[in-house]
Structure 1
Amino acid sequence: MAPNVSDDSMTAGETDDLRVGRRKAMRYVVPVTVIGVAAATIGLVPALADSGDPDLPKITAQQLLDKIAASDVQQLSGTVKISTDLGLPDLGGLESGLLSGAAGKGGDGSSADPSAKLTELASGTHTLRVAADGPDRQKLSLLENAAEYSLIHNGKDVWGYDSSSNEVYHSTTDESTDGAGEPPATPKDLTEDALKAVDDTTSVTVDGTVHVAGRDAYKLLVKPKQSGSTVGAISVAVDAKTGLPLKFTLTPASGGAAVVDAGFTQVTFAKPAASTFDFTPPKGAKVTEEDPETAKDGTDAPEHFGDGSGSTDGTDGIDGIEGTDAADGFDVLGKGWTSVAVLETGGKGVPSDSELGSELGSDAGGALSGFLGSFGDKVTGKFGSGTVFSTRLINALVTDDGKVYVGAVTKDALVKAADSAK
């Protein structure tokens, strides 16, 4: 249904046109492999009349949505700052333990594998350099202390390079992959997925103007109408000239700092030099080729650049706020911002210390056990009993009989959903 957009409303045909337009525009924005975490932005700051914000022509929310849908940016380069604060407890040695454990269970262990390397974006603040030249050439570089990790897509080749270890990961892509499995990373990616949640459970308004990366922008404010969602508001700074989202901010209903921040600090729309996307493995580098069998069936295959169409095999978008469409493999309870996904694990719920140690090794299993125990809450209801694992955005209820309820909803909403399923 149509969003609540000030004075305008969308017909069903206009909604379809908007979705098609967004997907067209999406093809030309750096589709990056990060993690399946919905988050990246800095705080939501209301526009003040005397704040020095740009004086732009008045625009309705519907017109701003149309501007985003019509955006057709094919070339860009710039710097993006990403901050993520999911409110997770200190991971300690968990990340390295899990990765090393996975490598010991058959993974190649390459530090240049993007499916492992880019998990670093799950927490903290990071600086990225991005460049794009149409659907076939993109580059992302994660800047680190005295080192750099780069992910380059040039034609059918996808290269990951970790300068700190001098390791290279190589895979290939073709039209059949169609960008499947790529989680959102840039402001455009995040906005694309967030707008899929816009329906009659959503309020959409224009919230003034702002300067971002030296450019004039409008602010689009998206807020759930429903209670029970952990999402407080989503603010998108939209370039007044190109319609490209320059900054995406998601703040939680609980208040405080934004859960995530993805915003350009510098951007230009000039065509990047062709050499930007050239890559040859450095002398002496360890080169790991993608396993063709895992790439074929999608098991443990590294995420990579695609054509950016936004098509996936499962649920697109931010976990828990995708809307009411059920993805393959699980059901969805409720609608809109309070929808909850239900997964059948076939297991017994939260694994024991011994089970974790057996699966991941003693170090990784012990780290994960301590991690889970540090933020899990025991709950009971008509569904039976289980454990709720909470972040500032995504919460999950793992029942003792092996069901998982997950969404961008409160603990009480999860328990209510589990009870209603009985």
Structure 2
Amino acid sequence: MARNEPTQVAEGPEGHRTPARRKAVRYAVPVAVAGVAAATIGLVPALAKSGDPDLPKISAEDLIAKVAKSDVQQMSGSVKVTTDLGLPSLPGGASLGALGGGHDGKKGGADVSPQAKLTELASGSHTLRVAVDGPDKQRVSIVEPAAEYSLIRNGDQVWAYDSGSNTVHHSTAPREKADAKGHSGPEELKGASPQELAKKALSAVDDSTSVSVGGTAKVAGRDAYQLVVKPKAEESTVGAVRIAVDAKTGVPLKFTLSPKSGGKAAIDAAFTKVDFAEPAASTFDFTPPKGAKVTEDKGKGDGAQREHKGALPATPGEMSGFDVVGKSWTSIAQFKAPAGASKDAKAKGGALGKNAGGAGALLDTLGTKVSGPFGSGHVFSTRLVNVLMTDDGRVYAGAVTKEALIKAATK
């Protein structure tokens, strides 16, 4: 068969990415937002390539349609996720990417809720084990050298377990209406499905995007096409996204996001093993280990957000003044800084600004001072996401240039 070659640029379905949620951690808010946003953009499972198979030619339009039609309900495998956003470090070498983690800096003080754990994927390399058996049985485990974090759903029971602190978080899944393909369940667990994550990434494809098929790849022993997605907008900091799509099932197998600034990938996720057979039923069983500290959700399974120490808000709508300007690759999330941070700022003569003591000094070190018609503030930059925090407590974040953020703040 003929080798697959790049095809013509095609337009995909309209959509936009949902901006990520923030952690209310005073002066660390901008960097935490950057980490979560990048993690949300990029957590599509991927496989390491090992050879370029010969496959029938396919257009970009047809490949996108193949992903959209994919409805694999059962699978399991191992995934390696590597994120290099270029997050700055705090004095003493601690990474700001770790501020979103759930351990509160000490053993035994862990917050093991999914919201708190999400930001740990925003930096470094992590190995995940995933298993899915329909909309009501899902498991994702983050495997660390000396510990493991697991999020398990079995029916309406949801368990989160951190073996390092021997801490368990238990909740009841809200009863949601399934979509046309039968998918349902809380948002955190929908992320365990590779196809759902890929569709989220492809939702940014519109007339501001060029899309082509860029050859083929061998991913964990499976033949795959490579879909290449490139934003056209100058304001976007995304250079290109490459998604390896399983030639047989249409399931995305590889996701690599490269920043426009160049260098190695900002996000690279890879399945090292994948199996589309039905996982064993015992995979989704969980009983709290002896001696484990169990925290029960305060909610009653009605979908309302519960309070957890150090947790991120469950939905963007829970952020004060939350809004999204722009669309697709130039979407910018804007909201007000945490109330505590704003009060502290006013008491010291400026929202975390020049007179805010140690916090202000740290902002000056980590961020770049900016000013304009909107007032003044600081811009915090990673290789992918920029965040503007104004001195009057407004926050603007997105995978866009700092000039785009300043323009949004001015409007």
Distance in 2, matches of 1:8 and 1:291, equals: 48
| Contact 2:101–2:120 under 8 Å retained in 1 | no
Superposed counterparts of 1:189-268, under 5 Å: 189-268=196-275
CA distance in 1, matches of 2:45, 2:246: 17
Aligned to 2:42: 39
Question: How does the TM-score come out when normalised to structure 2?
Answer: 0.76
Which residue of the partner structure matches residue 80 of structure 1? 79
Whether the 8 Å CA contact 1:115–1:302 is kept in 2: the answer is no
* 1:343 counterpart letter in structure 2: F
1:392 and 2:383 are equivalent in the alignment = yes
Name the CA shift for 1:98/1:212 in 2 (closer, same or farther; >3 Å).
closer
Name the counterpart of 1:324: none
Conserved? CA contact 1:313–1:328, under 8 Å? no
C-alpha offsets along residues 105-146 of structure 1, whole Å, 9 cap, x if unaligned? xxx954433333343212100101111111110111111113
What pairs up with 1:177-196 in 2 under 5 angstroms? Answer: 179=185, 181-182=187-188, 184=191, 187-196=194-203
Counterpart pick for 1:6 among 5, 8, 27: 8
SS in 1 for 2:42: coil
Note if contact 1:223-1:232 (Cα within 8 Å) is conserved in structure 2.
yes
1:18-33 paired onto structure 2 within 5 Å = none
Identity of paired residues, percent? 54
Deviation readout 1:351-382 (Å, 9 max, x if unpaired) = 868979xxxxxxxx999767644321101122
Structure 2 residue matching 1:272: 3-state secondary structure: coil
Structure 1's 369 and 44: CA in aligned 2 closer, same or farther, altered over 3 A? farther
Aligned 8 A contact 2:132 2:193 in 1 = no
Q: 2:279 aligned with 1:272, yes or no? A: yes
What's 1:172 paired with?
Answer: 172
Whole-Å separation in 2 of the counterparts to 1:302 and 1:139? 24
Worse-matched range after superposition: 222-231 or 290-299: 290-299
* Match of residue 340 from structure 1: 332
Instruction: Please report the RMSD computed on the Cα atoms of aligned residues, expressed in angstroms.
Output: 4.0
Partner letter of residue 241 of structure 2?
Answer: I
How far did residue 186 of structure 1 move?
A: 6.3
The alignment partner of 1:415 has SS state of helix
Structure 1 residues 369, 264: closer, same or farther in 2, change over 3 A? farther
Gaps of 5+ in 1: 20-33, 305-311, 316-326, 357-364
- Determine the structure 1 residue equivalent to 2:402: 411
Could you tell me the TM-score, scaled by structure 1's length? 0.74
Q: Is the 8 A contact 2:88 2:366 kept in 1?
A: yes
Correspondence for 1:309: none
When structure 1 is superposed on structure 2, of 260-269 and 366-375 the one drifting more is 366-375
1:53 to partner: Cα distance: 0.4
Give distance in 2, aligned partners of 1:289 and 1:349. 29
In the alignment, is the contact (CA less than 8 A) between 1:230 and 1:410 conserved in 2? yes
Which whole-Å deviations, capped at 9, do the CAs of 1:314-371 have from their partners, x for residues lacking one?
A: 59xxxxxxxxxxx995343334322323324496987868979xxxxxxxx9997676
Partner of residue 20, structure 2: none
Give runs of aligned pairs for residues 327-366 of structure 1, distance below 5 A. Answer: 329-345=321-337
Structure 2 unaligned segments of length 5 or more: list them.
Answer: 1-6, 17-34, 178-183, 349-355
Question: 3-state DSSP class of the match of 1:238?
Answer: strand
Q: Is the 8 A contact 1:141 1:150 kept in 2?
A: yes
Other structure's SS at 1:65 match: helix
Cα-to-partner distance string for 1:192-217 (whole Å, 9 max, x where unaligned)? 11211111101011000001111100
Measured in 2, the distance between the counterparts of 1:370 and 1:293 equals 44
Shift of the 408–221 alpha-carbon distance from structure 1 to 2, 3 Å rule, reads same
Of the structure 1 ranges 328-337 and 385-394, higher mean CA displacement relative to structure 2 is found in 328-337
Q: What is the DSSP-based 3-state SS (H/G/I as helix, E as strand, rest coil) of the residue aligned with 1:264?
A: strand
Range that drifts further, 259-268 or 182-191: 182-191
The answer as to 2:368 corresponding to 1:380 is no
Distance across 2 between alignment mates of 1:112 and 1:87: 26
Q: CA offset at residue 269 of structure 1?
A: 0.4
